[in-house]
Structure formats: C-alpha cells, structure tokens
Chains A and B, each alone.
Chain A
C-alpha cells in the first residue's frame, strides 16, 4: 500500500502563454479512498501549480467539475483509479488548465427569468403550500448547479445553449411546481427545446446526486405540452 502510486495525466493549457494544450503526467502516492480532488491537490502542493477549482470538498458546492477519463465528474466525489486522465469540463471556455469559465451558464439561467413570479406581492399564507407541494419542490433543490449534465448532454453539444440543458432548466422546473408561481414555465420550456430531449439518460448518469432530471424536467414538460 505504502509504495503504491497513481498516474495522473493532467490537461495543461494557459491560453495567455502556451502555443497549444499539452498533457503532463504526475505520480501521486495513493492513500485510502483517494479522490481525484485529493490527487490534484497533492500535485498542486508538491509538484506543479496546476489550476483547478474547488471549495467545499464534500459534494455540495459543485465547483470542482472536470472530465475524468472522458466522463464529466466532480473531482471530490470520484475515487481515483490507478491511472486517470483529468481534463477541463467539456464544452466550456478554458481559463487555465482545469479551470473553466461558467459565466455563460449564469447569463443563460438569468435569461430564463428563473425566480418566483407571483405577479406582485405575495400574501404569506402557510396553507397555500401543502405537504405534496413540498415533496414535488424538494426534487429540484438538490441540484447543485455543477453543470456536469451540460458536459454530458448530446443536445447541448450539438445545439449549444439553444437547447437548455438540465442545470439551466432546473430553476424553471422548480418554479413550475410552486402553486403561487404565475410565470409561463411551459412556454419557456418549449421555447428552450424541451421537446427535443429523447431521454437518453446521459445527464442522469453523470449527476453527482443522481437526480432523475430527464423525468422531472423534460418528461414532465413534454407531458404537459401534449396535454395542451
């Protein structure tokens, strides 16, 4: 156990300095249950000032998304195998090495007017929210907006933000479950391409909290559209 190492191949690219991206390999002493994030931090502390983002280290902040062996993953929640290749999250502009720019996601979320729309002031009435509403609503609040699903979605890859991926649509879907909300969430959903989703399930596969986003977002709105 003591002399075991893992081989970590890291995507290195500083757009302000480097002619082109390259891969560098680092050997990291293995520890029990070591995550990809621990391996990256070991490299940072001891070998090279690689750039990567993280904050909470326990699967709640959703800032450490990277591609691990080609699959979108949270570095903190992914156990390192003996040989790993770590690359920036697919489909996002690269700031440096593994750190990408999520600004477009915010802009896109903002455009969908994602906050509660109650047309004027809300009367605070406890009884307007029932236990069932809470149960419905609860499904969405676990989304940590790590954007792994966007990196996995074939429709996002093909159409860019013309198809609003799960992490973008989750706010809209959440508001659609609030009985006080008056926004036209279905209209927004259709305009943002929910009918294109064929529930391939790739988003669910990479979701760190395994939210059934294909069902609770796309299938939900598709069913509503059919009823209309």
Chain B
C-alpha cells in the first residue's frame, strides 16, 4: 500500500454526476473527496453529451406528463419510483437551479428561455446550455470553491466490504503507479457506463463515448455483491461517422434533423423498406436497425457503414455547429456523401438503485450511467444530464447523512492485500498478448454478435468467445514496461478484466430476454412480449462466483 486517504464521502467519477454529488455532499456537511480515472470534468459524458436537458416544466406540462413520457420511452420496465423522483425534482425546478452556480441556459432575443421539444417528450421542456461541457466546467469551479480534495487519474479497482457494508475502495494511480487505500463511510459510484466494449477501432471502440467508459463501476460493484439491472439495454446512436478514423464516433445527426438521405453502397435509398409509418421520422432504434441490416446483408460501404447524403439538404447552416474539419480532410458536404454507422452511446443498465441512489450494499451508492433502473429499455432524450443533476443532489445529501451517522468502521485488510496482489500480478512484463489486443477482441466480438441486431445463436457464440478470451488469452496478457510513471498498459490490464465481466453480463442478459423491447432487438424474437417480459433482469454474484441472472417483475410504483 503506497497511500491512504480517508473521507466521509468518496465520489468516484468526475463527470456531471460526480461533480454534482461532491458539491451536494459537501454542502450537507461531509468531508468529500472526488476521484477520477481521467481528469475531472474531462472524462465523463459531459464533454460529448448533447447540450440539451429536461429542465422546465410549466403548465400545461406537469410532473405527471413527464413521468408518463419517461415510462413510455422505457417501455414500462423502468423503476417507477426512480422515474417519478426524476419527474418530481425536474418539475420542482431542481435542474434550473444550476443557474445558481453560474451555468446560464440559452435565451431568446426577448429574454425567455430557448426551449426545445425533443423526441419522445410531450412538451418543450428541454433547455440548452451551448454544450454540456459548460455544465462540467462550471460544476468543477464549484468543486474548486469548496474544500473538496481532487484525485485526478486514480482508477478505482475494488470495493472493500466489512460486515456486509462497503467501507472503502482500492485504486491505482496512473501518474506514479501507487496503490491507494481509500477509507470512506459512503462510497458513490458516478463512473459511467461501458460503451467502450462495442466495436474495434484505432483510437477507440465504435462509440460516441470517451475512452474511459470501460464499465468499471458495474464490474467492480458486481464483484463486491451489488445487484445490477437492465444490462441488456444499450442505446446505439444511429448515424455517426465511421471514416476517416479521426472522426470515428462523431455523432452526425439523423437524416430527419437536416433533410439528409441514407443510401447503401449501391447508392440506393433504403429507409422506405423499413418504415411502415409513412411520413413520421423513424426512431433511433429503427434507424440503427435498418442501417445494420443493410450492412449485414452486404450493402455496406468500405469502412462498415452506409452513406448519409447531405448534398441536397435545404439549409447547410443546420450543419454549422459541427466543428469538424471536413474541408481539411477533403470532404465537401455539397458534393460528397459521409460514411455513417451506429455507435454505442449509453448504458441504460447498471447498479440497481432506489430513489436515494442506495444499492443493496449499505454504504454503496450509484447514479448516472453507472446506475440502472431509471431509463428502462430506452432512455428519453435530455434525461441523462438531468438525471446526473437530480440524483447528484439527492445522493450527495444521503451519502453525507449516512457518513455523519457512523463514527468508525473497519476495513478488511485481507481484501486490501488481495487486491494489491491482484494488481501487481496483472502487471506482468514480458512477451505475450498486449492488453490493447485483448480489448479489440472483446470489442469486435460484442460488435459482431451482441450489437444492434441480436439473435440467440450469435449471443451464445459471443458468450463462448468471451469465455475463451478469459481462459486462453488473459493468462497470456503481458505489458511492455514496468515503469510506474503513466503506465497506461497497467490500467488497461485492469480494464480488460472489467470489460470482460460487463461484456458477459450484456451478452447473457440479451440471451435471456427472448423478446424485443426498446434498444434490445432480437431477430429470433422480433416482438415485444408483455406477458412474459414486463420484467427486469437482475444480475448478482452467486456463491461460487458465477453470474446469476434473475428475471424479476418490475418494481411497484
């Protein structure tokens, strides 16, 4: 053990969820630390999230209408209490309160809020703040103003339990390779989802997310005994650039947003084949599925996408907010088509929480993409950032309250030493398979077999392949340098163990759910089955360490 840190509340993750939690816990009187695998405010979803969030509920809109929208979007398997909490808090103006911290929402020339009506919302309750990085930036300033200790580039690798409660964590510091024991009375996982498990690329997987999203919270919490929920539901953004590589994962917008047209490799339009509802813009799920079907049936482009044709759009100014150097790389949107494909965007599933963000393990809390239950089978637009704000505030207060009620608590040093040995054991230098190569194998397996279009045989094959990677490749995993200074490979070997667990959860849950619902689509079970599947799949850890999946009726309202 190279260092010890103590705090009332340890917040893990420095995105909007984590920053908001830290501010709220501090203001409730707790001694707070904020830990981030990357750089706080720069590693969560904030910098890449869309700039719009559900914030403004005014007559005739109400918490009830918003709640209904949330339930419908989640296809009635979201946790009604958790969804209700979000609707109530948004209606009570809790998101608008961000302006107290200096965040300013867009205004119209007359001074009124600029409101947006997003897909799936009955009313125009969404506000914009230019881009969401504004929110992370300003919340970071609020963290700075308070006496909250920041631990950038510290990757948490294990939750410590003592008499059934979570009493701390162990982490690996990137800058100097030190292994740190964190003793905390409350531990909050705000560390995001696992979108990096989908699709092999050079700079990252086929995802809109930052490279840090390797599913660490879900994997670590599951190993410690936490119950997870809804892991089979992963939202895929339909239209993202796949080429050139430098822009892979950039969300380019759905055709309807600009009046663009999708075409397959032969130049043919194809959406009309898949939309039955003439005239209405297809949903994200429908678009993603249609594009993947064209690619799968051999009508995809060279780099694994389809064409999005902007050449005839009525107004090129709608593209002005894309700050990408199309000209520099020889793309003329007036003449050239763009290669686009779906990319993983958001994990609806995660650590199962109640309205206080408590998990089943006393002392462990979760929110944001690390948590599951709020969104159900599909996430309503504008509710990711809103949930980070709402539940950040809630969890901060609850975590502080718990910390104040506890005087002392123990740490199981056998677990600490065990984790230290595991981390050191993973950092084996020598000739073998690089962690980055194993990551790419996991990513291509998941993309090919557990992606937008799923079926039983392929899901089973994916689970087998993940097993093989775990048994054959991982023992041969080696890194190339023993240095302790910024040794990214050491971090990557740990990420591989997390990604394997999360990938297996997604694949197993997807195999078990023999229906199609929201973001989960099964070719072999293409319809929704409310009779059998108005349920959530709960993932827990069995006595023998195996993954236990239990379908469970949706919680009552």
**B133 lies within 8 A of A49 (CB):** no
**Interface segment, B218-226, B407-415, B476-484, B518-526?**
B476-484
Most A C-beta atoms less than 10 A away, residue of B42, B93, B110, B247 = B42
Tell me the number of A-to-B contacts counted with CB atoms below 8 Å: 174
Whether A57 touches B203, Cβ cut-off 8 Å, given contacts A134-B106, A144-B133, is yes
**B134 lies within 8 A of A141 (CB):** yes
Question: Residue B88 at the A interface, CB < 8 A?
Answer: no
Question: Residue B489 at the A interface, CB < 8 A?
Answer: yes
Within the assembled complex, what's the spacing in Å between the Cα atoms of A17 and B484? 10
**Interface segment, A2-10, A37-45, A188-196, A214-222?**
A37-45
**A51 lies within 8 A of B39 (CB):** no
**Interface segment, B140-148, B305-313, B358-366, B531-539?**
B140-148
Residues of A within 8 A of B134 (CB): 141
Question: Residue B431 at the A interface, CB < 8 A?
Answer: no
**B110 lies within 8 A of A115 (CB):** no
Which residues of chain B from 447 to 501 have a CB within 8 Å of any chain A CB? 479-481, 483-489
Partner of A96, one of B99, B107, B483: B483
Which residues of chain B from 5 to 60 have a CB within 8 Å of any chain A CB? 38-39, 42-43, 47-48
| Closest residue of B by beta carbon distance from A16 | B485
Within the assembled complex, what's the spacing in Å between the Cα atoms of A41 and B328? 21
Question: Residue B1 at the A interface, CB < 8 A?
Answer: no
**A34 lies within 8 A of B245 (CB):** yes
**A60 lies within 8 A of B133 (CB):** yes
**B488 lies within 8 A of A33 (CB):** no
**Interface segment, B204-212, B264-272, B389-397, B416-424?**
B204-212
**B323 lies within 8 A of A59 (CB):** yes
Chain B interface secondary structure, helix, strand, loop or mixed? Answer: loop
Question: Residue B329 at the A interface, CB < 8 A?
Answer: yes
Partner of B483, one of A16, A45, A56, A122: A16
Residues of A within 8 A of B246 (CB): 33-35, 37-38, 57, 76
Residues of A within 8 A of B210 (CB): 55-56, 61
| Closest residue of A by beta carbon distance from B56 | A126
**A16 lies within 8 A of B484 (CB):** yes
Residues of B within 8 A of A73 (CB): none
Within the assembled complex, what's the spacing in Å between the Cα atoms of A95 and B39? 15
| Closest residue of A by beta carbon distance from B97 | A124
Whether A49 touches B244, Cβ cut-off 8 Å, given contacts A60-B133, A63-B42, is no
**Interface segment, A97-105, A158-166, A199-207?**
A97-105
Within the assembled complex, what's the spacing in Å between the Cα atoms of A174 and B104? 11
Partner of B245, one of A38, A99, A130: A38
Question: Residue B96 at the A interface, CB < 8 A?
Answer: yes
Mark each residue of chain A from 94 to 136: 1 if its CB lies under 8 Å from any CB of chain B, else 0: 0111010111001001100111101001101011011101100
Partner of B38, one of A63, A101, A134: A63
Residues of B within 8 A of A96 (CB): 483, 485-486
Question: Residue A22 at the B interface, CB < 8 A?
Answer: no
**A61 lies within 8 A of B104 (CB):** no
**B110 lies within 8 A of A134 (CB):** no
Which residues of chain A from 138 to 162 have a CB within 8 Å of any chain B CB? 138, 141-142, 144-145
Residues of A within 8 A of B487 (CB): 49, 51
**B244 lies within 8 A of A45 (CB):** no
Residues of A within 8 A of B107 (CB): 129-131, 133-134
Residues of A within 8 A of B126 (CB): none
**B328 lies within 8 A of A61 (CB):** no
Question: Residue B137 at the A interface, CB < 8 A?
Answer: yes
**A124 lies within 8 A of B175 (CB):** no
**B203 lies within 8 A of A137 (CB):** no
Min Cβ gap B202→A in Å is 6
Residues of A within 8 A of B43 (CB): 55, 61
| Closest residue of B by beta carbon distance from A134 | B107
| Closest residue of B by beta carbon distance from A111 | B144
Residues of A within 8 A of B97 (CB): 124
| Closest residue of B by beta carbon distance from A48 | B480
Within the assembled complex, what's the spacing in Å between the Cα atoms of A113 and B110? 32
Within the assembled complex, what's the spacing in Å between the Cα atoms of A79 and B324? 12
Mark each residue of chain B from 243 to 282: 1 if its CB lies under 8 Å from any CB of chain A, else 0: 1111111100000000000000000000000000000000
Chain A interface secondary structure, helix, strand, loop or mixed? Answer: loop
Whether A171 touches B141, Cβ cut-off 8 Å, given contacts A33-B330, A59-B323, A141-B134, is yes
**B483 lies within 8 A of A115 (CB):** no
**A38 lies within 8 A of B145 (CB):** no
Question: Residue A72 at the B interface, CB < 8 A?
Answer: no
**B109 lies within 8 A of A131 (CB):** yes
**A60 lies within 8 A of B47 (CB):** yes
**A124 lies within 8 A of B130 (CB):** no
**B133 lies within 8 A of A37 (CB):** no
Question: Residue B545 at the A interface, CB < 8 A?
Answer: no
Question: Residue A31 at the B interface, CB < 8 A?
Answer: yes
Partner of B211, one of A51, A57, A102, A174: A57
**A38 lies within 8 A of B202 (CB):** yes
Min Cβ gap B58→A in Å is 11
Most A C-beta atoms less than 10 A away, residue of B108, B130, B245, B329 = B245
**A95 lies within 8 A of B175 (CB):** yes
Partner of B485, one of A15, A44, A121: A15
Question: Residue B547 at the A interface, CB < 8 A?
Answer: no
Which residues of chain A from 57 to 73 have a CB within 8 Å of any chain B CB? 57-63
**A38 lies within 8 A of B203 (CB):** yes
Which residues of chain A from 76 to 103 have a CB within 8 Å of any chain B CB? 76-77, 79, 95-97, 99, 101-103
Within the assembled complex, what's the spacing in Å between the Cα atoms of A91 and B186? 39
Residues of B within 8 A of A181 (CB): 102
Min Cβ gap B242→A in Å is 13
Min Cβ gap A212→B in Å is 16
| Closest residue of A by beta carbon distance from B38 | A55
Question: Residue A225 at the B interface, CB < 8 A?
Answer: no
Residues of A within 8 A of B483 (CB): 14, 16-17, 96
Residues of A within 8 A of B211 (CB): 54-57
**B150 lies within 8 A of A44 (CB):** no
Question: Residue A226 at the B interface, CB < 8 A?
Answer: no
| Closest residue of B by beta carbon distance from A144 | B133
Residues of A within 8 A of B248 (CB): 57
Question: Residue B113 at the A interface, CB < 8 A?
Answer: yes
| Closest residue of A by beta carbon distance from B325 | A77
Residues of B within 8 A of A99 (CB): 486
**B42 lies within 8 A of A55 (CB):** yes
**A116 lies within 8 A of B329 (CB):** no
Residues of B within 8 A of A129 (CB): 99, 104, 107, 111
Question: Residue B335 at the A interface, CB < 8 A?
Answer: no
Partner of A114, one of B112, B141, B245, B434: B141
Most A C-beta atoms less than 10 A away, residue of B38, B243, B487, B488 = B488
Pairs A-B, 9 closest by C-beta atoms: A116-B102, A33-B329, A115-B141, A96-B485, A51-B486, A115-B145, A33-B244, A96-B486, A61-B42
Please, could you name 6 A-B residue pairs with CB atoms under 8 Å apart, sorted by A?
Answer: A33-B329, A38-B203, A76-B246, A79-B329, A95-B485, A209-B323
